[in-house]
Amino acid sequence: MTTDPRVWLRAGTALLWVAVLAPALAAQEMSRLATDYRQQAAVQALPRAAAERVQLRFDTSEAEAVLAVMAKQKAGDSVTDADWQRLFSTEPYIRLKKREASFHRDFTDADFQKFVLSDDLADRAPELKKTLADWKQANLNAAGERALVYLPGDAVIRAKVFPVIKPKTNSFVFEPGADPTIFLYLDPQETRTQFENTVTHELHHIGYSSIDGRVEAKLKDLPPDAQAAVEWAGAFGEGFAMLAAAGGPDVHPHATSKPEDRARWDHDLANFNQDLRAVEKFLLDVAQGRLKTPEERGKVGYSFFGVQGPWYTVGWKMAVVIEKRYGRARLIECMTDPRELLATYNQAAAEHNRAHPEDPLALWSAQLLQAIATKNKT
């Protein structure tokens, strides 16, 4: 897990086929096909250089090496040192060990051997093999190009994607600045479509990080506390990534998810106005110095991530309101400065409120906008 509030991993979701829900799921499939068409049209509208802005490497070597050891064990063959070295020398395994060491967690080859040879993992071998084969058919370049649709024209995506078999079931982005890599837990409950959605979400984060220098330049004249508040507001990038992965403002961000995940999102989104106020209080407390240390800020700020908390839902809603009111180009402009995002959302939401007084949207307070504004030099 990265400590940069702008780069966070959304949990993957899965679609369960249940016979009694077949009619509803058939309708979902029609919706998915329409979404694919809209996404394809958006990608085709990108400049011809778009393909050059996306460079991905999909490395399945760790998962394949684990499955090879499991297959030998099942067949009753001896697992040799060469088999283990094939696994331990893969880049995904080496980077996984490096990541765990950065968190001061125990991660030894001996412990990993026990995990690979465990009865529990052996029972899951067929579904893991099937899932890996399915994921290998994913079009990751297309996923990257979909992410570019919601990024500035100078953003680039250079990343590695590692599906891995490991003890912990989490997925994460590692070293987004130095060597951007997406580790994805090989989850049989996640279909290829959902895998592509997850990758698009994470590639949007990586593409956004490629323009960090431009973002930081806009904030350099802010007082330290105000700068910290604006940096935390960058966590609304989770909402941008949800929008990019869905493919547009008219597509439900959980169009291909399990019914319970979609219901959770809808329930949380209904609390948009209250959640905006809660995030506003946090940003004001940071900007006005009431939360001084990284620990104090993190205790509150990280609580807004949750499964897909306000950084996701409020960020997504603001992005949708802006895009529907002013267009995608205006939204992308806002991505380079969270202050512009809040102010532009306020303008769009105020227009919405005048047109739809029965469904008012909360606005960011003038107090917050003033607290994070760049002060004129004297």
Tens digits of residue pLDDT in 258-306: 899 999 999 999 999 999 999 999 999 999 999 999 999 999 999 999 9
Q: Does residue 5 lie in a domain region?
A: no
Compute CA distances 325 → 224, 363, 366, whole Å.
Answer: 33, 15, 21
Note whether 274 and 301 are same-domain residues. yes
Compute CA distances 245 → 41, 70, 221, 276, whole Å.
Answer: 14, 34, 33, 23
Within 12-90, residue ranges assigned H as helices are 22-44, 61-75, 81-88
Q: For position 63, what pLDDT does the model report?
A: 98
Q: Does residue 175 lie in a domain region?
A: yes
- Count of domains observed in the chain: 2
Alpha-carbon distance of 185 to 109, in angstroms, equals 19
Average pLDDT over the chain, rounded to whole?
88
Q: For position 375, what pLDDT does the model report?
A: 57
Note whether 185 and 283 are same-domain residues. no
Note whether 221 and 201 are same-domain residues. no
Q: For position 214, what pLDDT does the model report?
A: 84
In the sheet with 172-174, reading across from the earlier edge strand, the strands are: 54-58, 157-164, 181-185, 172-174
Note whether 36 and 160 are same-domain residues. yes
The CB-side HSE value for 8 (13 A sphere, CA atoms) comes to 26
53-56 contacts, C-beta under 8 A, 24 or more apart: 53/148, 53/155, 53/156, 53/157, 54/141, 54/144, 54/145, 54/148, 54/156, 54/157, 54/203, 55/156, 55/157, 55/158, 55/159, 56/140, 56/141, 56/144, 56/157, 56/158, 56/159, 56/160, 56/161, 56/203
Note whether 127 and 266 are same-domain residues. no
Q: For position 18, what pLDDT does the model report?
A: 25
**Residue of 219, 170, 203 lying closest to 7 (CA atoms):** 203
Cβ neighbour number for residue 84 with a 10 Å cutoff: 16
Q: Does residue 1 lie in a domain region?
A: no
Note whether 180 and 290 are same-domain residues. no
Note whether 56 and 202 are same-domain residues. yes
The residue out of 193, 211, 229 marking a domain boundary is 211
Q: With cut-offs at 50, 70 and 90, classify the pLDDT of residue 49.
A: low
The boundaries of the domain holding residue 334 are 215-371
Q: Does residue 20 lie in a domain region?
A: no
- Give yes or no for a contact between 323 and 331, defined as CB atoms under 8 angstroms apart: yes
Note whether 61 and 138 are same-domain residues. yes
Q: Is the pLDDT of residue 173 over 70?
A: yes
Q: Does residue 361 lie in a domain region?
A: yes
Q: Does residue 6 lie in a domain region?
A: no
Alpha-carbon distance of 230 to 218, in angstroms, equals 11
Q: Does residue 271 lie in a domain region?
A: yes
Q: Does residue 242 lie in a domain region?
A: yes
The residue out of 176, 211, 246 marking a domain boundary is 211
Note whether 41 and 183 are same-domain residues. yes
Note whether 297 and 320 are same-domain residues. yes
Note whether 365 and 230 are same-domain residues. yes
- Give yes or no for a contact between 261 and 16, defined as CB atoms under 8 angstroms apart: no
Q: For position 52, what pLDDT does the model report?
A: 86
Note whether 57 and 186 are same-domain residues. yes
Tell me the CA end-to-end span of the chain in Å, nearest whole number.
41
Alpha-carbon distance of 339 to 347, in angstroms, equals 13
The residue out of 162, 179, 211 marking a domain boundary is 211
